[in-house]
Amino acid sequence: MRFTLPVALLLLISPLLALAEPTVIPLWPEGVPDAQPNGGQEYVENDRVFNVQQPSLTLHAPPAGQANGTAVILCPGGGYGRLAVSVEGTPTSAWLTAQGVTCFILKYRLKEYGHPAPLRDVLRAVRLVRARAAEFGVDPARIGVYGSSAGGHLASCAATLFDHPAGRTGHPLDAVSARPDFAILQYPVILLEGPHAHRGSVQNLLGAQPSAELLTLLSTDRQVSAQTPPVFLVHTAQDTSVPLENSLAFYTALRRAGVPAELHLYEKGPHGFGMRADLGPTSTWPRRCEEWMRSHGWLP
């Protein structure tokens, strides 16, 4: 029998879970593509990770005997300028591992590299987990991506650009499918143009004067196809940083392409609410996500 822990309790115990030594898996053991020899050191400030030079996956396993075979690659947000791992990584992994999901928190490259480095990192993460599925005790056909804010943009890139040439480096692992089997997007950046775009993410990812071609390519609502995997979206009306029109645009594109999708819009909650338990109905979104995952067979 599996017991579901309340989100509030998970938030209390997640700092304790973080004390255990996690397994850190280098993303590019053969050498980081286009590595910056004078890129400086990664550092942490206000619980945010800056200047990622060595991308990695941090494995968070479910309690012994409770893994159900589903894996999720977590992409924290931070506008492509930093990674909010403590807000949008560790608490989320505590929730998912309590459901038996094996979690991998992705530390991906940021503004110091720009496109296509983050895309290459997330697609390499999917390929790596799928290629080593037996080692990690997961089903290679049940590997999802989860992203918040700019991390939601990166997860949406994985869901739509999984076969794009920019995501390959010529390594033999490129032969492994990078298509995730599902995506969970929390207040995601989707639109890179127009009044609802998140300008900070656009500049950090593409520079001050991005080309029209790149803006179109990475406005991921324009890249949805029938091959895009099922998607769960959650957003709030009070989000003034990344307006809910981003999720609406992605959902509309999914619906037009015939892709299974579920969209939850709530009244209350600022941008970056993560797993907060004090937002009334908004705080129930993890339960809705669990129901969605269960309906597709990713949770028992």
Delineate the domains of the chain, giving CATH numbers in brackets.
41-296 (3.40.50.1820)
Q: What is the model's pTM?
A: 0.92
CA 221 from centroid of its chain's CA atoms: 16
pLDDT in tens, 162-220: 999 999 999 999 999 999 999 999 999 999 999 999 999 999 999 999 999 999 999 99
pLDDT in tens, 107-133: 999 999 999 999 999 999 999 999 999
Determine the pLDDT at residue 4.
44
Which residues in the chain come in under a pLDDT of 70? 1-21
**CA pair distance 252, 299, nearest whole angstrom:** 26
